[in-house]
């Protein structure tokens, strides 16, 4: 699984940023065919009646004189044929996410807790939502109750086995600076970003990783992970520098999954083994 990169704090505007970064095919439930239904039997004929015999014909009635059953047969006496219910939408999806972000300054991720640094570059903080979408039972990203939503891009140097990378971070708060969930983070797999279409997914090998999280005090839990869809980078200049440079990107309809139901199954245990909490389904 990919790492979950830590978010830090924005003191210049009174909002706290906490952190994360992680990562790792949908087990699509395929309905087994009924063993008592021959493959050549039409779906509107019961499995125990030959296809050339009308439905509900008494045994003593000749097959060439079927009863006059009107086409508007009452629903309380349907033929004994199972009805296949087709899921509405992609099985397992928890929501979708859109992205529209542009900046002329990428922050130094190691200085997000430096009040002086953040104040100097306060004008480079985007003061509107760059990630929007819906999830769960019609909930929105950002939360409709948020008094303000902010976003920025930050460069993080290599650390341990993790290569240097660039993240786009969005957080929401009320007007007193208290966190309002959910928050969003997009991590590029490398800080060497080029323009073009980038794949989004949980597995190593994708170009970008997106996590939606809820802040809980000084901690967080994973609410959703993106898998599938793409991010289109339209501008990327000097992204390997500690700070400076520029970045612009868009994306739409990116599928979100709750960790308990992803294209790779339930990965709750994997996240918990990493010390990461999983949010309840909302």
Ordered by start, the domain boundaries in the chain are 32-83, 95-278
User: What is the end-to-end Cα distance of the chain in Å, rounded?
Assistant: 24
Per-residue pLDDT tens digits for 195-237 = 999 999 998 899 999 999 999 988 899 999 999 999 999 999 9
Residue with tokens 């086995």: 161
Which string of b and e fits 261-272 if b means at least 16 CB within 10 Å? bbbbeebbebbe
Residue with tokens 């609410």: 223
Sign of CA dihedral 95, 184, 159, 250: positive
- What is the per-residue pLDDT for 242? 97
Percent of the chain at pLDDT above 90? 62
- What is the per-residue pLDDT for 23? 35
Rounded Cα distance, 101 and 65, in Å: 71
The yes-or-no verdict on residue 2 having pLDDT over 80 is: no
Q: Backbone dihedral region of 65: left (phi > 0), alpha (psi from -120 to 50 degrees) or beta?
A: beta
Read off the pLDDT band of 92 (50, 70, 90).
Answer: confident
Which carries the bigger pLDDT value, residue 57 or residue 8? 57
Per-residue pLDDT tens digits for 38-48 = 434 444 444 44
Residue with tokens 């939606």: 212
Average pLDDT, the chain: 77
Report how far apart, in Å, the C-alpha atoms of 183 and of each of 61, 108, 131 are: 69, 20, 9
Are 93 and 256 a contacting pair, CB within 8 Å? yes
């Amino acid at each position: 699984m990919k790492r979950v990169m830590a978010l830090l704090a924005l003191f210049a505007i009174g909002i706290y940023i906490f952190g994360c970064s992680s990562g790792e095919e949908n087990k699509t439930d395929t309905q087994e065919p009924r063993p008592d239904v021959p493959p050549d039997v039409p779906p509107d004929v019961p499995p125990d009646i030959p296809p050339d015999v009308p439905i509900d014909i008494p045994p003593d009635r000749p097959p060439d004189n079927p009863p006059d059953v009107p086409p508007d047969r009452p629903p309380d006496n349907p033929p004994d044929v199972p009805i296949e219910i087709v899921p509405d939408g992609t099985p397992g999806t928890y929501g979708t996410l859109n992205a529209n972000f542009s900046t002329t300054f990428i922050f130094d991720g190691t200085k997000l807790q430096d009040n002086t640094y953040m104040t100097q570059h306060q004008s480079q903080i985007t003061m509107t939502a760059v990630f929007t979408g819906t999830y769960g039972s019609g909930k929105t990203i950002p939360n409709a109750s948020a008094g303000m939503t902010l976003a920025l891009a930050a460069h993080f140097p290599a650390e341990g086995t993790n290569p240097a990378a660039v993240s786009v971070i969005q957080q929401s708060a009320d007007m007193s600076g208290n966190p309002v969930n959910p928050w969003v983070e997009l991590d590029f797999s490398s800080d060497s970003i080029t323009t073009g279409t980038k794949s989004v997914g949980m597995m190593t090998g994708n170009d970008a990783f997106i996590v939606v999280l809820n802040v809980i005090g000084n901690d967080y839990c994973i609410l959703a992970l993106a898998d599938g869809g793409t991010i289109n980078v339209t501008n990327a200049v000097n992204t390997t520098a500690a700070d400076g440079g520029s970045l612009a990107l868009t994306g739409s309809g990116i599928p979100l999954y709750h960790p308990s139901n992803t294209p790779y199954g339930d990965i709750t245990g994997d996240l918990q083994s990493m010390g990461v909490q999983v949010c309840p389904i909302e």
